[in-house]
Amino acid sequence: MLILAIYVSIFVAAYVIYNTVAGGMRSRDGYNARKTVTFGDESAVTPNRAASIISVISIFLIWGAFTGSTLTPVHVPGPFIGDTSFTYTATNAQNQTADATVYVRVRPISDTFTKPELGKQTQTGFAKDDAMKVGAWRSGLLRAQNNDEGGKIKGYRVTAIDGQPIAPKQSVEVTDGVVNMTAKGSLSFVPYQGWQMEPIWLPAPEAVVRRLIEISRDGYQNVTLLENVGWSLFRVIMGFVLGSLVGIPLGYAMGLNNWFRGWFDPIVEFMRPIPPLALIPLIIIWFGIWEKGKISLLFLAALWIMTISARAGVSGVNITKVHAAYSLGASKFQLLTRVIIPNSLPEIFTGARVAMGVCWGTVVAAELVAAEKGAGKMIIAASKFQQTDIVIMGIILIGIIGYGIDILMRKAEDVLVPWKGKS
């Protein structure tokens, strides 16, 4: 909730600041700048690049601020780290009281550290000082009376912390945290946790970058990063190519022949709405969980998309083009190769982009279920060891690669079918 509120306020603040700062500098020459009607004119709405940059930066800033990153200048308060202490007042069976101090050392759990030294003893009477160590974001349990004179005798109890009375199941706030008393009279110290996320929930950005460098150099669980990503890509490409090799001719046949259309229509229309992931159990039963199964799954994911786009490409051919080609003396085969196939290429490319996207998503999911190597396998393995930094690095990598695939496909489209949308 707090994060959402901060995000919204950054959004609003950036908008206001940008408009006051950049308002004067904005060019007044462009055609769009001369338009008086822009609200509702779709062509007048272009993504504001400054907004995109601020958006990405602010996500990193928030991420950094809530993880205590060294890269961000401001942070929300972090957990208490350091040495602290509180006093307790014990009452013995004879209703006499005595005070002693508990010395606490709080460090990140990834550090190895010892209890603080007791140093000069300040206790009065029968209560004796104690020392304990607690990990940041954790709590530590201490039976303070254990080392006290007569502490094991029935009726001996802790009655106050830092002078404030306490009883079982109550708690008292001290300087750097909270002291709770358990039902049995032990003390549990919870150091101040602050607003920051614990690294096993969300590591700082630099930790993720460090992991990326480390893993691309040394690999993870004896598999290099390149191998992991390479295997995922290999499966996607295999599945996509096989799916296209079958799907495109099938789509053409469905677009050109009544019998094919009638035969495969029910199959295609039935298979199309089934998400590929729903097929995983069946695929595992049929083909096993390894390479054959995964490539079969991706094949099926790509197959229907490519079939449908090839079919649409054929059906979409303008009848006048077909008439023109026949009137120019084309044979059926020439019509297919010179007119119908090139005419369907834009549709096929659109389908290919969708298919690659679906395959990429499906491969990661399939690898989560079972794989020896792959981007999905890497993050699921890391999540079992609570290596959140690897999980996040993997997710970012998967996103970047998916985006990269889409950009590549679009570039290929621009080069190979420049006439798209221009007829």
Question: Which spans of this chain sit near other proteins (rule: CB under 8 A)?
Answer: 318, 320-321, 323-331, 334, 338-339, 342-343, 345, 417-419, 422-423
Closest approach, Cβ 338 to other proteins, in A, equals: 7
Decide: residue 378, CB within 10 A, 0-12 exposed, 13-18 middle, 19+ buried.
buried
Nearer to other proteins, 176 or 347 (CB): 347
Nearer to other proteins, 21 or 416 (CB): 416
Nearer to other proteins, 304 or 349 (CB): 349
Please tell me the number of Cα atoms within 13 Å of 149 on its side-chain side: 11
Q: What is the distance between the alpha carbons of residues 234 and 304, in angstroms, rounded to a whole number?
A: 20
Nearest CA to 74 out of 138, 10, 4 is that of: 10
Closest approach, Cβ 337 to other proteins, in A, equals: 11
Nearer to other proteins, 107 or 321 (CB): 321
Closest approach, Cβ 331 to other proteins, in A, equals: 7
Closest approach, Cβ 417 to other proteins, in A, equals: 8
Cα radius of gyration (the chain): 33
Nearest CA to 279 out of 198, 358, 382 is that of: 358
Q: What is the distance between the alpha carbons of residues 240 and 283, in angstroms, rounded to a whole number?
A: 17
Please tell me whether residue 386 adopts helix, strand or coil conformation. coil
Q: Which residue has the tokens 């940041």?
A: 136
Q: What is the distance between the alpha carbons of residues 395 and 406, in angstroms, rounded to a whole number?
A: 17
Nearer to other proteins, 85 or 344 (CB): 344
Closest approach, Cβ 414 to other proteins, in A, equals: 13
Closest approach, Cβ 312 to other proteins, in A, equals: 17
Closest approach, Cβ 348 to other proteins, in A, equals: 13
Nearer to other proteins, 297 or 325 (CB): 325
Instruction: Provide the β-strand partners of residue 134.
Output: 106
In three state form, how does the secondary structure of 219-276 look?
A: CECCECHHHHHHHHHHHHHHHHHHHHHHHHHHHHHHHHCHHHHHHHHHHHHHHCCCCH
Nearer to other proteins, 222 or 320 (CB): 320
Q: List the alpha helices (DSSP H) in 23-91.
A: 31-34, 49-65
Q: 401, 229 in Cβ contact below 8 A?
A: yes
Nearer to other proteins, 175 or 318 (CB): 318
How many helices (H) and strands (E) are present in the chain, helices listed first? 13, 9
Q: Position 12: which residue type?
A: V
Closest approach, Cβ 340 to other proteins, in A, equals: 11
Nearest CA to 128 out of 155, 151, 152 is that of: 151
Closest approach, Cβ 254 to other proteins, in A, equals: 22
Nearer to other proteins, 102 or 340 (CB): 340
Nearer to other proteins, 73 or 329 (CB): 329
Distances (CA, A) of 235 to 79, 103, 124, 308, 371: 44, 57, 72, 22, 11
Closest approach, Cβ 352 to other proteins, in A, equals: 17
